[in-house]
Amino acid sequence: MGYKSLARPHGLSTASETLALFTGLVTSNSRRLPVCSQCRYSSTRGPGRPQPKTKLGETVYPTDEWHNVPPAIASSIGRQLHIQKDHPISITRSIIESKFPKPTYQHHNGFVPVVTTGQNFDSLGFPPDHPGRSKADTYYVNASTVLRTHTSAHQLDAFRANSSEGFLISADVYRRDAIDRTHYPIFHQMEGARVWDRKKVPHGNIAQAVWEDIAKLPTHSMIVEDPNPPTHPERNPLQHGHSHDEAEALAAHLKRSLELMVVEIFSRAKDAAIATNPKYVDEPLKVRWIEAFFPFTSPSWELEIFWQGDWLEVLGSGVVKQDIFEKAGVPSQVGWAFGIGLERIAMLLFEIPDIRLFWSQDERFLGQFKGMSDDLHRLKRYVPFSKYPACYKDVAFWLRSSSSSAGGGIRANAADFHENDVMEIVRDVGGDVVEDVTKVDEFTHPKTGRKSLCYRINYRSLERTLTNEEANEFHEKVSRELVNKLGVELR
């Protein structure tokens, strides 16, 4: 659940996209995505040919015409930055986990990223034509298997296991997406949940049991704005079968728990800022709760924090829909859940300006975090070790008209074209030497009806200066691959 943008620099998700990402029901581009039914880069198996296969991690999987996992993505499976000692993603995870202690909360950090479409989509109620199922968004291993697009793929299984009162799930997730400083095709999410069982609490009184647990939670001095009632019949409805007292108690426990998490994260962030800059000007920490809508929680909220002069969305949350517990075979349970993006929090915590840095193996980056896992008091902000010059290259091309049969691309015509295809090709060729890709021009010819697009690619390595010759070589290969894979006509 939930991958979030940063404060508002170029290329960041909107608030509505942020909330949608918590639910796992859309990706950051889904509102503009057509649903595709064929793979852009794969070929079908001919008669007499053996079943194609691919190795992901330590397991070999059969593939078919749905397969669209490129080698660069496949080779990154298993990095597991969220459990790599002294990595900023792992440090961020451990800070959050410290506020949801065992044994009440089990911490799951090792789930395999290859899941069924049933786990990733069906268990959460994705309709068959939902854009989230599109290969424009999702990496398919085969027609019934994907690289998870959200940690919610494991939620139903965790509820079904019923092995603890609460859980946290942290994992790498995969989405085809834009290329810029805050988007990467692999990122990390954490979601958490806390449940109570009507059969186990005294006299089945959920509200009383929850309030007793709230009394055991610490308090805090953070400023909290929460002007709305726990439920609202139209904006934030009470679920059928839940009493108002139950919903009020669940909301209070959820909010107190997440507020304590925010206090921990941003207190650490302030300490890191002061350690880096003793003249850092502190400001009172304050948050606000905003009513929201998610398909599998009700009532629902997002949490915003006022940080360095801006209100930032940091997570989505809500009371879990009862039908999820029913699907999991534990209908007597009720509870809450939340989702948060670890990259977003780590970028705030350490002031890391480019999401590609998390994947760097340069000691100048990784060495800055040595020892922090064992001693969080050593937290300091990231110090840039260099800023190499940008090298911008434009590529312009014509798409085929929908009625045209010319050209050789699988997805060449305007009706089928999707921008993520361009991003995937650029990423396959340039990898992490590409900082961002931006569409700078688009027009339709008034006579032929053909559409022309122009993209500006910024080639900039995080670790060294690229020569113009190197950038040209990358760019020429990108241009060839656009022609070969999309069937476009270069201008």
Write out pLDDT tens, residues 426-485. 999 999 999 999 999 999 999 888 999 999 999 999 888 999 999 999 999 999 999 999
Q: Is the CA virtual torsion 477, 481, 484, 489 positive or negative?
A: negative
Tens of pLDDT along 301-338?
999 999 878 898 899 999 999 999 999 999 999 999 99
Pick the more confident residue, 206 or 386.
206
Least confident of 176-185, 194-203, 334-343, 404-413: 404-413
- Look at residue 414 in the predicted model and tell me its pLDDT: 62
- Helix runs in 77-235, H state only: 88-97, 117-120, 155-161, 206-215
Report residue 403's pLDDT band, with 50, 70 and 90 as the boundaries.
very low
- Look at residue 142 in the predicted model and tell me its pLDDT: 96
Does the pLDDT of residue 412 top 60, yes or no?
no
Report residue 413's pLDDT band, with 50, 70 and 90 as the boundaries.
low
Which residue in 183, 175, 187 sits closest to 438, CA to CA?
183
Does the pLDDT of residue 292 top 90, yes or no?
yes
Mean pLDDT over 35-61 rounds to 66
Count the helix, strand and coil residues of the chain and give each as a percent rounded to the nearest 5.
35, 25, 40
- Look at residue 402 in the predicted model and tell me its pLDDT: 57
Which residue in 371, 351, 354, 355 sits closest to 272, CA to CA?
351
Distance of CA 391 to the CA centre of its chain: 28
Q: What is the DSSP letter of 236?
A: B
Mean pLDDT over 258-282 rounds to 89
Which residue in 220, 101, 225, 208 sits closest to 164, CA to CA?
101
Report residue 31's pLDDT band, with 50, 70 and 90 as the boundaries.
very low
Contact 479, 457 (CB under 8 A): no
Q: What is the DSSP letter of 304?
A: E
- Look at residue 417 in the predicted model and tell me its pLDDT: 87
Tens of pLDDT along 327-367?
999 999 999 999 999 999 999 999 999 999 999 999 999 99
Does the pLDDT of residue 122 top 70, yes or no?
yes
- Helix runs in 98-236, H state only: 117-120, 155-161, 206-215
Domains of the chain: 80-113+148-374 (3.30.930.10), 391-490 (3.30.70.380)
Does the pLDDT of residue 18 top 60, yes or no?
no
* DSSP-assigned letters across all residues of 390-451: PEEEEEEEEPBPTT---S--TT-BTTT--HHHHHHHHHHHHGGGEEEEEEEEEEE-TTT--E
- Look at residue 310 in the predicted model and tell me its pLDDT: 87
Helix-helix angle 88-97:342-350, to 10 degrees? 100
Task: Round the average pLDDT of the chain to a whole number and report it.
Answer: 87
Mean pLDDT over 1-5 rounds to 36
- Look at residue 30 in the predicted model and tell me its pLDDT: 36
Which residue in 2, 1, 11, 18 sits closest to 312, CA to CA?
18
- Look at residue 474 in the predicted model and tell me its pLDDT: 95
- Look at residue 16 in the predicted model and tell me its pLDDT: 36
- Look at residue 47 in the predicted model and tell me its pLDDT: 60
CA dist 301 and 50 (Å) reads 50
Does the pLDDT of residue 43 top 70, yes or no?
no
